[in-house]
Structure formats: C-alpha cells, structure tokens
C-alpha cells in the first residue's frame, strides 16, 4: 500500500536558520499520525511543507502519490486546519462554508448538500445563520474542520487542533477526528499535548529542534523504555528535584522499591508518554 505522505531528507531554512533538519518519514494511509514536540520544534513548519503552504529548502515530499510541486492535485486530496483561525468573522457560519465550496468549484446543489451535511456533522447546523464572531473558540475550530471536509479530502492535516480549548470542546474534536478516521480518512496532526497523542494517535513522531528524535507507537516506546517508573525525590524539600528510573515492568519497579531499606521520597507508577519524552529530550513539554 502506498504511503499517504512520504518525506525524504527534508530540510527547511529560514534565512540562515535551520528549523527542520533531514526529516524522513512515511505516514500510512488510514492512520492517525501525531507529530509531538515542544514549541519551536518545527511541527508547524513540517505541516506547512506537507500541505504545500511553504516549500522545503531541500529534500523530497510526496502527498497522496503526488510530488509536492503538483500543488493543485494535492489540494484536491487534502484538507487543512491551521492553528490560526482563518474564518471570515464578518460572514455567517453558512456563508463561510459557501465561500469555501465556491473556491473548490462545487456545483450549487452539491455544495448546499455538503454544507448541510458537514455543519450537521460538527453540530453547528443550529448556528448556521450566526456570524462567526458569535461563536466560541471550540465552535470556530469545528467550523474550520467542517470547511476542510467540504471537498471530501483523503488526508486531513490539523495543526494543534485543540490548543486553547476547554475540556468539553477538546473531547468533541477528538471524537470528530476519530469518527473521520473510522470512515477511512488519514489524519496528520501536530500537538504538544501528551494526552491528545495518547487518546488519538496510532503512531507518534517526536520532534525536537527540527529533528525527528523518535518514531513509533505508544506500545513500542514503552517496550523500548520500560513500563514501570521509580520516582525519587532528591535534595532538600524546599529545593527538591526528581530522579526517574525506568524498569521493564511496573512489577519490576515495585520489587526494586520493596528491596530498599529507606523508601522515603520514593514512589512507583506506570510510565507515560511524558516520561519518555523527558527521557529523550531532557526537558518538559510545556
Ligand atoms: P512548532 O510548530 O513546533 O512550535 P514552528 O514550526 O512553528 O514550531 O517553528 C520552528 C522554528 O521556526 C521556530 O523557531 C520559529 O520561530 C521558526 N519559524 C517558523 N516560521 C518562520 C518564518 N516564517 N520565518 C522565520 N522563522 C520561522
């Protein structure tokens, strides 16, 4: 099966600054792929290159079996939801959809039918005559998703889809992403939320300082690093630091703890993605 997205040795420089360095990556058809990394890691730049919004300085990118310079062909196959709200605040919800449908040359009856279907899909049909200004942040994000679906893309790219949203809005967007994926759509998203990756992604690429530093599933990351963690408080309580020790299993971590004469300041818990991220990069995400 062909990849949905293939990057080979992709680099991006801004002036003399290298913000993406030698990125090689295959995203499979039908998967939810998450690019995870701290702010400034190069995630948005990578998504902008995959969606033809900016050109790589070097390397090769293929999307939906088209080379990245076949821009019109690619645009028919992809939907894009960027971080910045790109809706027209002076238009209504329906009018924003209408405008986008016309840009994609959808004939009127098909356009109307799809606007209705996708506004309904993201629970915005009752708000169709409201101005975009009247919508909450979560509603705007859902409208952006509905708009990106109008031409029925094969691959949906979402750059930080839930940043700044309240927990309910975030959960609803996760449900929408999962439903779209169950219907066969490939999803590529960037995030710096660990729980988003854990909830949604089949595979994860961790980026740091423009490079892909790890690639796999949550299960393979845990296999590689361990599933049990011993957390130990060191130093004086007012300036305490934490040391982390990985064990293959939670039981192994517990057995180690049980052998210690002095267990003060020690605890055992299951490893999570954030622990692995900190182990790989030496720093916290936020
Ligand atoms: P992320 O999405 O992981 O937060 P970005 O891809 O937005 O990271 O940014 C990576 C680096 O590239 C940052 O240091 C950012 O300042 C820089 N950068 C992004 N876009 C531009 C641009 N248009 N011009 C110059 N520098 C940029």
> Higher confidence at residue 240 or residue 208?
208
Say how many Å lie between the CA of residue 45 and the centre of ligand 1.
Answer: 6
For residue 194, report the distance from its CA to the centre of ligand 1, in Å: 21
Q: How far apart are the CA of 192 and the centre of ligand 1, in A?
A: 14
222: left (phi over 0), alpha (psi -120 to 50) or beta: alpha
Of the candidates 216, 204, 156, 205, the one whose C-alpha atom is nearest the C-alpha of residue 184 is 156
Report the CATH fold assignment for 3-218: Rossmann fold (3.40.50)
d(CA 216, CA 66) in angstroms, rounded, equals: 25
Sketch the domain layout of the chain as residue ranges. 3-218, 227-270
Ligand 1 atom having least distance to the Cα of 46: 6
Residue identifier of the C-alpha nearest atom 23 of ligand 1: 14
- CA-based radius of gyration for the chain: 22
- Residue 237: pLDDT over 80: no
Which atom of ligand 1 is found nearest the CA of 159? 2
Give the chain's end-to-end CA distance (angstroms, integer): 37
What does the pLDDT average to over 89-102? 96
For the Cβ of 37 lying below 6 angstroms from any atom of ligand 1, the answer is yes
The conformation of residue 256, written as its DSSP 8-state character, comes to: H
Q: Where are the beta strands (DSSP E) in 97-227?
A: 155-159, 186-191, 203-208, 211-216
- Percent with pLDDT over 70 in the chain: 97
pLDDT tens-place string over residues 240-250? 688 899 999 99
Distance of CA 98 from the midpoint of ligand 1 (Å): 32
Q: Which residues pair with 216 in a beta bridge?
A: 204
Mutate to test the pocket of ligand 1, among 13, 15, 40 (most ligand atoms within 8 A of CB): 40
Q: State how far the Cα of 115 lies from the Cα of 118, in Å rounded to an integer.
A: 5
Q: Which element (helix H / strand E) includes 143?
A: helix 137-149
**Protein residue whose Cα sits closest to atom 15 of ligand 1:** 40
User: Does the Cβ of 278 fall within 6 Å of ligand 1?
Assistant: no
Does 42 contact ligand 1 (Cβ within 6 A)?
yes
CA atoms within 13 A on the CB side of 272: 12
Note the pLDDT tens digit of each residue in 64-74. 999 999 999 99
Residue with tokens 């720093």: 283
Protein residue with least CA distance to atom 22, ligand 1: 14
Token code pair at residue 229: 């963690």
pLDDT at position 286 is 53
Regarding the beta carbon of 14 and ligand 1, being less than 6 Å apart is answered: yes
Residue that the structure tokens 């070097």 belong to:
58
Separation of CA 41 and ligand 1 centre (Å): 8
Q: Rounded to an integer, what distance in angstroms lies between the CA atom of residue 151 and that of residue 239?
A: 56
Tell me the pLDDT tens digit for each residue of 69-90: 999 999 999 999 998 878 999 9
Burial category of 37 from C-beta neighbours within 10 Å (exposed 0-12, middle 13-18, buried 19 and up): buried
Angle between helices 218-225 and 273-281 (to 10 degrees): 60
Measured in angstroms, how far is the CA atom of residue 39 from the centroid of ligand 1?
9
Rounded to the nearest integer, the mean pLDDT of the chain is: 92
> What is the rounded distance in angstroms from the CA atom of residue 157 to the CA atom of residue 78?
7
Ligand 1 midpoint to CA 19 (Å):
7
pLDDT higher than threshold 90 for residue 193: no
């Amino acid at each position: 099966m062909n990849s949905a997205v293939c990057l080979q040795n992709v680099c991006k420089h801004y002036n003399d600054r290298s913000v993406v360095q030698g990125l090689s990556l295959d995203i499979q058809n039908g998967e939810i792929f998450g690019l995870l990394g701290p702010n400034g890691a190069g995630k948005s730049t990578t998504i902008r290159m995959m969606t033809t919004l900016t050109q790589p300085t070097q390397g090769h990118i293929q999307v939906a079996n088209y080379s990245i310079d076949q821009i019109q062909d690619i645009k028919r196959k992809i939907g894009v939801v960027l971080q910045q709200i790109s809706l027209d605040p002076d238009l209504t919800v329906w009018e924003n959809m209408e405008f986008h449908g016309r840009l994609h040359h959808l004939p009127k009856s098909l356009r109307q039918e799809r606007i209705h279907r996708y506004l309904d899909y993201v629970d915005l049909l009752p708000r169709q005559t409201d101005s975009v200004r009247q919508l909450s942040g979560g509603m705007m994000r859902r409208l952006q998703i509905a708009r990106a679906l109008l031409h029925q893309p094969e691959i949906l790219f979402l750059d930080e889809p839930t940043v700044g949203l309240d927990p309910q809005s975030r959960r609803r967007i996760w449900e929408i992403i999962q439903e779209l994926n169950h219907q066969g759509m490939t999803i590529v998203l960037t995030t710096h939320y660990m729980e988003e990756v854990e909830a949604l992604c089949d595979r994860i690429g961790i980026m740091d300082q423009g490079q892909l530093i790890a690639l796999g599933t949550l299960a393979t990351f845990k296999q590689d690093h361990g599933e049990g963690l011993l957390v130990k408080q060191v130093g004086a309580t007012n300036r305490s630091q934490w040391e982390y020790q990985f064990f293959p299993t939670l039981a192994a971590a517990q057995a180690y703890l049980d052998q210690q004469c002095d267990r003060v300041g020690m605890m055992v818990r299951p490893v999570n993605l954030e622990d692995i991220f900190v182990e790989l990069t030496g720093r916290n995400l936020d």
